[in-house]
A and B are shown apart, each in its own frame.
Chain A
C-alpha cells in the first residue's frame, strides 16, 4: 500500500515543479516567487558558507534568482534538475565574486578559500551543517562540505584535506552512498508514518 502513495506524492510534486518552471519561462512572477520559496533557503545556505558574509550572500542570492528569471528559457529539464541548475548559477556567481573582490589572497593553487577564512567573522550558525551529513564520518563529511558548501573543486579540495585526488574522490563517493542510505531510511520512516496514517 505504501508504494503507490509515495509515487503519487512524488509525481504531484514533480508535476508542480515542471508546471512552475514552464510558467517561469513564460515570465510569471508568481512562479518565480514559489520556486524561490522552495529553493532560496538551500541556495542561500551554500552561498553564505562560501562568502561567509551575510550582506554579500544576500546580494548574491538576489543576483542568482535574477539570473534564474532572465535565463529561465535556457534551463533544459532533460539535462538535470532545476535545483541543480540554480545551484550551479549560484556557485559560479559566488566564485566569480570572490575572485573579483579578493584576487590578492589567491594562493598558488588558485584556491580562493583557504586563506583569510579566520579573518572574516560570521555567526557560526550559518556555517553549521544539519541533517544526514552530520551522521557521516568526519573525513566524508569534510569532503562533501568542501565541494558542495565551500565551492572548491575536487582538485582544490584534496589539497586542502591533504590526501591524494583518487582518495578524495572515493571519500565523496562513499559519503554519497552513506547519504543515500540515510535518505532511504528517512523515506522509509516517512512512508511508515504515511502508511500508518
Chain B
C-alpha cells in the first residue's frame, strides 16, 4: 500500500498528474488523495501550477481546427443518426420481407388446403357412388344367382304361358320348382303396357285365384310368389300397382301345371 511519504519522496504526484503511471498506481494514488486532504491540497497546487505553466506557453492554433472539430462532431452525430435510421430501415425491410413470405406461404398453403379438400370431397363422393354401385351390383348378382339357381335346379319344370287373342304375340316362360317352392318367370316377350296398367300373375287353387304378384316392367327375369297346390298360372292386365282380384275379361295367358 502506498503512503503519503512514498508518494512525496518519489515525486509520484507529479508523475500521476503528467499521466506517467499505470492504472494500478493511479488507483492507489487516488485512494490516498481521497483520504488525505493535505496531500490533496498539495496536488491541487501542483495542478494549478502546471495549468498556469501551460497557459503561459499557449500557442494559438489555426482557427480552422475548431471549425473542423465542430463540423466533425456534427457529421458524427448525423452519421450516427443515419446509421440508426439505416439500421432501422434495414431491419424493417427484413421484417417486411419475412412477413410477405409468411403471407405468401400461408396463402399458398390455404389454396393447397382448399384444393386438397375439394379433391377429398370428390374422392368421398366417388367412393360413395362406387359403394352404391357395388351394393347394387351385389344385390343384382345375388338376385340373379337366386333366379338362375331356381332355373337351373334339376327339379324345376318349365311352363310356357302363350298369349291368347288379347295378346297373340306375347308369351311368358315360367319355371316352377315345387321342392324349393319357387317360381321364376321370363317376361322378355311380354308386350309393353302403358303407365296406367300392369301385368299381374295369379295361381288357381281349387277355383280360387290367388295373387302371385305384379310383374315388374323393367326386369326380364323375376321371381314370383310360389303358391301351394296351384293348378294353373294366369296373367291378367290390371290397373297399375295390381288388383285384389283378377279381372277375368283381361286374362291374356294361362297354363295348367302338371
Known A69-B73, A84-B17: A169·B11 in contact at CB below 8 Å = yes
Q: Which B residues lie within 8 Å of A33 (CB)?
A: 66, 70
A21 within 8 A of B: no
Q: Which A residues lie within 8 Å of B48 (CB)?
A: 81, 183
Q: Determine chain A's interface SS by DSSP, over half rule.
A: helix
A133 within 8 A of B: yes
* Segment with Cβ contacts to A, from B55-63, B97-105, B121-129: B55-63
Number of B residues whose C-beta is below 8 Å from A? 39
Q: Which A residues lie within 8 Å of B169 (CB)?
A: none
Q: Which A residues lie within 8 Å of B14 (CB)?
A: 147, 154, 169, 172-173, 176
* Segment with Cβ contacts to B, from A1-9, A86-94, A99-107, A111-119: A86-94
A23 within 8 A of B: no
A51 within 8 A of B: no
Interface residues as binary, B31-47 with A (CB distance below 8 Å gives 1, 0 otherwise): 00110000000011111
B51 within 8 A of A: yes
Q: Which A residues lie within 8 Å of B59 (CB)?
A: 41, 44-45, 48, 126
Contact B62 A133 (CB under 8 A): no
Q: Which B residues lie within 8 Å of A48 (CB)?
A: 59
Q: Closest B-chain residue to A125, C-beta based? A: B59
Contact A132 B58 (CB under 8 A): no
Contact A58 B47 (CB under 8 A): no
Contact B69 A84 (CB under 8 A): no
Contact B54 A62 (CB under 8 A): no
A50 within 8 A of B: no
Report the bound CA distance from A84 to B11 in whole Å.
Answer: 17
Tell me the smallest distance from the CB of B91 to a CB of chain A, in Å.
26
Contact B56 A36 (CB under 8 A): no
Report the bound CA distance from A94 to B77 in whole Å.
Answer: 25
Q: Determine chain B's interface SS by DSSP, over half rule.
A: helix
B249 within 8 A of A: no
Taking CB atoms and an 8 Å cut-off, the chain A residues in 116-167 that contact chain B are: 126, 129-133, 144, 147-149, 153-154
Known A81-B48, A180-B49, A183-B49: A132·B56 in contact at CB below 8 Å = yes
Report the bound CA distance from A33 to B63 in whole Å.
Answer: 12
Interface residues as binary, B47-89 with A (CB distance below 8 Å gives 1, 0 otherwise): 1111111111111111001101110111000000000000000
Q: Which A residues lie within 8 Å of B73 (CB)?
A: 29, 32, 66, 69
Q: Which B residues lie within 8 Å of A183 (CB)?
A: 48-49, 52
**Contact pick for B17, options A36, A80, A132, A153, CB 8 Å:** A80
Tell me the smallest distance from the CB of A164 to a CB of chain B, in Å.
13
Report the bound CA distance from A67 to B59 in whole Å.
Answer: 20
A192 within 8 A of B: no
**Contact pick for A133, options B15, B47, B57, B72, CB 8 Å:** B57
Among B14, B51, B59, chain A packs the most CB atoms within 10 A around the CB of: B59
Interface residues of A (CB under 8 A from B): 29, 32-33, 36-37, 40-46, 48, 58, 61-62, 65-66, 69, 78-81, 83-84, 87-88, 91-92, 126, 129-133, 144, 147-149, 153-154, 169, 172-173, 176, 179-180, 183
Please, could you name 6 A-B residue pairs with CB atoms under 8 Å apart, sorted by A? A29-B73, A62-B68, A88-B18, A92-B19, A149-B57, A180-B49
Interface residues of B (CB under 8 A from A): 10-11, 14-15, 17-20, 30, 33-34, 43-62, 65-66, 68-70, 72-74
12 more A-B contacts (CB under 8 A) besides A44-B58, A81-B51, A180-B45? A29-B73, A29-B74, A32-B70, A36-B69, A42-B57, A48-B59, A62-B68, A80-B17, A129-B57, A131-B56, A133-B57, A153-B20
